[in-house]
Amino acid sequence: MFLVAGLGNPGEEYANTPHNLGFMVVDRLAEMHNIRVTRRDSKALTGVGQIAGRDAMLAKPQTFMNLSGTSLAPLMEKHLLTAADLILVYDELALPWTSLRIKPRGSSAGHNGVDSAIRSLGTTDFVRVRLGIHPGHPLSSGIDYLLSPLKRSLRKELEQLVADGADAVVSIIAEGVEKAMTRFNRRAPGSNEEA
């Protein structure tokens, strides 16, 4: 079984913030595949169903972003899942807005939620779907930006980014991470570098 875990913060006040893109992608996958993510399990909201003909559990840790690993580790242990079964979906301030990057493993790159997952799981060997949220101008405070509601004018782009994130997860499950990387790791708009 795959575990698709989206990172975010619980609570209505965080629902439409950049830091909750992981939750938004899990919600989109739940909608697409008719999975109810309502069961409380190991400090997470979870739901089990089928994605691309494979068993999958969707999870939204309810521990707040910086403690995500304290939910993921017991959830995986309880369901006999390993890091090879995990697909972690989250926002990435180091990537430009609307870019998407799949990575098969690696460091946290300063992302506190990913850092918590790495510390709790004791490994960096899990697939990540990173969703770019940098607005393209200098930020006075990264934290304020991450936890502030996204502007209404960005709604259409946000919906496309969430849809792309969900499609990337389906591709990883259906075709494997290498093929998904070939399909989804594209250059950011207006950039000469790989996103």
Question: Residue 79 to residues 35, 48, 85, 148, 165: CA-CA distances in angstroms?
Answer: 18, 11, 11, 35, 25
Instruction: Compute how many other C-beta atoms are within 10 angstroms of the C-beta atom of residue 104.
Output: 14
In angstroms, rounded to a whole number, what is the distance separating the alpha carbons of residues 126 and 140?
32
List all residues 6 or more positions away from 153 whose beta carbon is below 8 Å from its beta carbon: none
How do strand 86-96 and strand 2-6 relate by DSSP bridges? Answer: parallel
Q: Which of 19, 79, 134, 137 is catalytic?
A: 19
Q: Is 19 in the active site? A: yes
Mapping DSSP to helix (H, G, I), strand (E, B) and coil, where does residue 17 land?
coil
Instruction: Compute how many other C-beta atoms are within 10 angstroms of the C-beta atom of residue 185.
Output: 16
Residues classed as catalytic: 19
